Amino acid sequence: MEIHILSIFPEMFASVLDESILGRAQSRRLLQVYTHNLRDFTQDRHRVTDDMPYGGGPGMVMKPEPIVAGIRAVQERFGPSYVVLLSPQGNVLN
């Protein structure tokens, strides 16, 4: 099984993924986890991945362009895949 993670902080996953059950699964080659830096798929020189919310208000939102570009790049390189996009809205994931 292959898992690809797109994140603006891909380094933070290494300690979690290399330990416990996930670490053993990777050492036995049952699982392969790849992390990809979302900033690699931006188009500006500052590698910005977030923007002000449409209509104003507090906080920031992720730009869709780097996310879509990242998903497409992973699928072009590794083949079609199932995509899970986490969001703060919607139903609780059980």
Beta strands in the chain (DSSP E): 2-7, 32-37, 50-51, 61-62
Give yes or no for a contact between 2 and 78, defined as CB atoms under 8 angstroms apart: yes
Q: Is 94 part of a structural domain of the chain? A: no
Q: Which amino acid is at 5?
A: I
Query: What is the domain count for the chain?
Result: 1
pLDDT along the chain (94 residues), means of 10: 94 89 94 95 93 82 93 95 83 73
Residue 47 belongs to a domain with what CATH number?
3.40.1280.10
Contact 5, 32 (CB under 8 A): no
- pLDDT at position 93, please? 67
In a domain, 7, yes or no: yes
Residue 88 lies in a domain: no
Cα(34)–Cα(75) distance, rounded to whole angstroms?
13
Domain that holds residue 47: 2-78
CA angle 3, 8, 13 (to 5 degrees): 50
The answer to whether 70 and 41 have CB atoms below 8 angstroms apart is yes
Does 91 map to a domain? no
85 within domain boundaries: no
Quick check: helix, strand or coil at residue 8?
A: coil
